[in-house]
Amino acid sequence: MERAQLHGEGNELPICVHILKDAQPECTGICRIIAGIAKHAQSSGYEISALFLGEGPLIAAMRDAGIPASAVSWTANRRDLAGAWRVWRWFREHPAEIVHMHHGGLSVRTVCRFAGVDAIVQHLHGRILEPSGDSIAGMNLRGLDAIIACSQAVADCVPGRHADVIRAGIETGSRPPAAVAPTGPLKLGVLARLIPLKNIESVIDATARLAAMGIEIRTEIAGIGPSESGLRDLAVSLGVSERVRFLGWRKDVDRLLASWDLLVIPSLEEAFPLSALEAMAAARPVVASRVGGLSELVLDGVNGILVPPGDTDALVHAIAGLAKDRKRMTLMGNEGWERARSHFSVELMARRTTELYDRLLGREPSRPSLAMPHSSS
């Protein structure tokens, strides 16, 4: 299929196809990043589309957002020759200048090259590869024209190659949302996949210990994953099953954050969690592990509190301190909102991404470059 057929007669904008693992809910965060890029990319001279290597509900969600989205079944493994052929044929029917990979390795890059793609970008969203748990330091990065790291912490792990640090962006309103409740039970929120790496056990343990200290507390956990059964059992064994609610997979993140007083991220590893950025945009403080890219989002004592990873004592101490000082929580929330607005806008993320595309294709940027603020600002 020729480009004129796909995008309309006379449209000569370069096309960038984003490749994702599949269209299941675990890729929602990446889809939000793509949607943010797409929102501003056309004004910078690019058409953005998405190719999922597996079916799922996110295809319809992307299309509803106005982004062309397709699915081609492939394990992204060189042994799956039929899948490789399907992807090659898709690119021959939907020609693109740039492929922006959020999933896949050398096999995907090779197929894209043979299909005639001009430039290939690998976007690294973490310091470890799931489900193996291997470090990205061992990745085969041959055949790439550029690498994007979601945080400086991730970029520092890329062996022998330069990685452009382009942090995720988020929309904020013109004024901070409503402040946390001045009285009543303290409402903790967790937004995460329920897997061991997220260390959600420590939040349930902290809930029990805070309740024993006389602090009226409620904890809500939004997410799904293989650890859910064990986490529910833990809440029962600690006697806090009525204080801890499991909400399952939720799309109404904005509403949830508005109902919580703070977000807790007790992970043992994080690259650049969108949940922290969402909490900041909702003017909610973040209590999180000092790990990975979290310190690029949360300034300790300013818009949240950072604690050593795996240290439940420190987590309890931080939350207890905030429970006794709701005014401080409101101030932290407002600082987070201001930080999200000034340092992590969707427009800045999109502009830096399309400037990278321009560089790869040898094009002049359509607008003046925006400087990237330092994370410590």
> 3-169+345-361 has which fold?
Rossmann fold (3.40.50)
312-323 helix and 326-343 helix, angle to the nearest 10 degrees: 110
Backbone angles phi, psi at 327, to 5 degrees: -65, -40
Q: What is the length of the chain?
A: 377
Integer Cα distance of 233 and 372 in angstroms: 45
- CB-CB contact of 210 with 323 (8 Å): yes
Closest CA to 48 of 7, 9, 85: 7
Closest CA to 198 of 173, 240, 231: 231
Sequence spans of domains, the chain: 3-169+345-361, 186-342
- Which pLDDT belongs to residue 101? 98
For domain 186-342, the CATH architecture is 3-Layer(aba) Sandwich (3.40)
- Which pLDDT belongs to residue 51? 98
Token pair recorded at residue 256: 């949830």
How many alpha carbons lie under 13 Å from residue 249 in its C-beta half-sphere?
A: 11
- Which pLDDT belongs to residue 174? 86
Integer Cα distance of 211 and 270 in angstroms: 28
- CB-CB contact of 219 with 202 (8 Å): no
Give the CA distances from residue 281 to residues 29, 111, 229, 301, 336, in Å, rounded to whole numbers and listed in that order: 15, 39, 31, 17, 7
For each of the chain's 377 residues, which pLDDT tens digit applies?
344 334 444 458 999 999 999 999 989 999 999 999 999 998 889 999 999 999 999 999 999 999 999 999 999 888 899 999 999 999 999 999 999 999 999 999 999 999 999 999 999 999 987 767 788 888 889 999 999 999 999 999 998 899 999 999 999 988 889 888 778 999 999 999 999 999 999 999 999 999 999 999 999 999 999 999 999 999 999 999 999 999 999 999 999 999 999 999 999 999 999 999 999 999 999 999 999 999 999 999 999 999 999 999 999 999 999 999 999 999 999 999 999 999 999 999 999 999 999 999 998 776 544 444 444 43
Which residue is listed with tokens 């890059």?
109
DSSP symbol at 372: P
Give the CA distances from residue 237 to residues 203, 205, 240, 242, 258, in Å, rounded to whole numbers and listed in that order: 14, 10, 8, 12, 30
Burial of 129 (0-12, 13-18, 19+ CB in 10 A): middle
274-281 helix and 28-41 helix, angle to the nearest 10 degrees: 60
186-342 has the same fold as 3-169+345-361: yes
Integer Cα distance of 57 and 70 in angstroms: 11
